Amino acid sequence: MDQRVFDYLNTYGIRADTRAFLEQEKKMLIGEKWVGAGDRETFDVIEFSTGGVVTQIPKGTAEDVDAAVTAARYQFEQGEWSKLSGLQREQLINRLADLMEENLEQLAEIESIDVGRNREISQEADVQGSIDTLRYFAGWASKISGRVGEPCSLPGSYLTYTMKEPVGVVGSIAPWNFPLNTTCWKLGATLATGCTTVIKPAELTSLSSLRLGELALEAGIPAGVVNVVTGAGSVVGRAIAEHPGVDKLTFTGSTPVGKSVGLAAINKLNHLTLELGGKSPVIVLEDVDIKSAAAKVAEGVFFNAGQVCDAGTRAYIHESIYDEFVAEVAACAKAMKIGPGLASDSFIPPLVGRKQFDSVVKHIQRGIEEGAELACGGLPEDIVNGVYVEPTVFKNCRNDMSIVREEIFGPVLVTAPFSTDDEAIELANDSEYGLASCIYGSDITRVLKIAPRIQAGSVKINGDGMVDPAMPFGGYKQSGVGKDLGQEQLEHFLETKTIFINLND
């Protein structure tokens, strides 16, 4: 840990157990072994508000992935895990959730330091959200069942029924923006269905997944059921996607990387879930409470500095309230506190690294060059020394502008007016993405007529950021394949087997 990080932690204060975790040697979880760097290369964990090094993590290899898959395969086919009932799995998942609750504040601090997000927000959104997800799927573990068939159409007498069986070893590749939460989205369904897993956390934000691995073993989940291999996506991620012993791949990340990962899985005819990018539209009707709706739109797009796949980044606002509404959103944006994650009053965190910062700045520059008008924000004054970007709102954007078409993944909102509902729907659907959307309006009948016409995996009405473990999450078009969360997710981790019994003499 370098001096910049040391001073940062001392300035804001962290728990003793958090500091102890950060200072201990980081090791991957492979089967029953904690595997350190050894002769492997390592990579730095950066605290993004200071640019300082927190610790080093091993760069896993294809051989590490192979060892992890072997451990997962053994537990799935022959080990203790393969012999547990659904009720026993339910109890173990709930025990893991219990331990996460006992370590709630520590996990929140680890996530805040690793990702840069506000500590209190991390506790509520990341850690508590992860616990809620695990508890939801724990309840399903003892309730997964097939069905008895209708009278068979074959002549004679037959009994038919189906069985639900786990697919096997799951390769789980998580993103850097919500590492703990998205990992638990995948882990809950994996454990509930009786599968085993090899988790590859994002290279930039691996710490919470390593702590999760510790808690899984402490909960009594047999060694080898949950494996965590850290490292580069081009090495560890590719090895997981291409490994013949992986039966299902679940990936959350950008659309270009998701396509590459998906091709590897498809070549093996694997089960596949891809939760990819988004450029989610927001439609604001003229009958809204402008102040209230503008605050919700601003919070929805600027939360986590816009590094959210389903953030409402394209706002189409009725022409009669357009100027007033954009001015109100800009006022909300200017009032948002920019600062590091451990600062209790911060809302806009640093971006996750220099590469992401440079990408967002490049998009803002292109928006200005393309003729979009700035309502607030813009290019950072200090491009050399900082990775903070002010919340930025563009006015009078056209749908052919790059800032409207491309996922920026930063605190940037593009806006345009519309005159009719049909025009708003056409603008909203004019995108290669279809992850999420929002509609703001007081006439619920009108809103509910618009909602089915939006090409997106979810439509949020009069609010944003609404995610529930019981409701499926996933997109249309270039935003992915399959669903996370909800009963629908379970089907992606299960095989269906049909049984025919001949009752004829």
Task: Report, as residue numbers or ranges, the catalytic residues.
Answer: 275
**Of 47, 48, 59, 60, nearest to 1 (Cα)?**
47
Exposed, middle or buried, 275 (CB in 10 Å: 0-12/13-18/19+)? buried
As a whole number of angstroms, the distance between CA 383 and CA 440 comes to 36
Count CB-CB contacts under 10 A for residue 173: 26
> For tokens 């509930």, what's the residue?
192
**Of 310, 387, 380, nearest to 355 (Cα)?**
387
As a whole number of angstroms, the distance between CA 57 and CA 36 comes to 8
As a whole number of angstroms, the distance between CA 317 and CA 332 comes to 16
Contact 236, 246 (CB under 8 A): no
Residue type, 81: W
Residues 6+ apart with CB under 8 A from 78: none
3-state helix, strand, coil in the chain (%, to 5): 45, 20, 35
Count CB-CB contacts under 10 A for residue 396: 15
As a whole number of angstroms, the distance between CA 121 and CA 3 comes to 26
> How far are the Cα atoms of 86, 168, 211, 397, 491 from residue 137, in angstroms, in the given order?
11, 17, 20, 42, 13
Q: Which two tokens stand for residue 142?
A: 């003892």
DSSP string, 262-296: HHHHHHTT-EEEEE----EEEEE-TTS-HHHHHHH
DSSP state, residue 305: G
As a whole number of angstroms, the distance between CA 475 and CA 434 comes to 5
Count CB-CB contacts under 10 A for residue 114: 30
Return the SS3 of 70: helix
Pairing of strands 280-284, 312-318: parallel
Q: Which two tokens stand for residue 397?
A: 């954007």
Return the SS3 of 28: strand
Residues forming a β-bridge with 227: 198
Residues forming a β-bridge with 43: 57
DSSP state, residue 203: S
Return the SS3 of 320: coil
Contact 363, 410 (CB under 8 A): yes
> For tokens 């004679």, what's the residue?
156
- Categorise residue 485: left if φ over 0, alpha if ψ from -120 to 50, beta otherwise: left
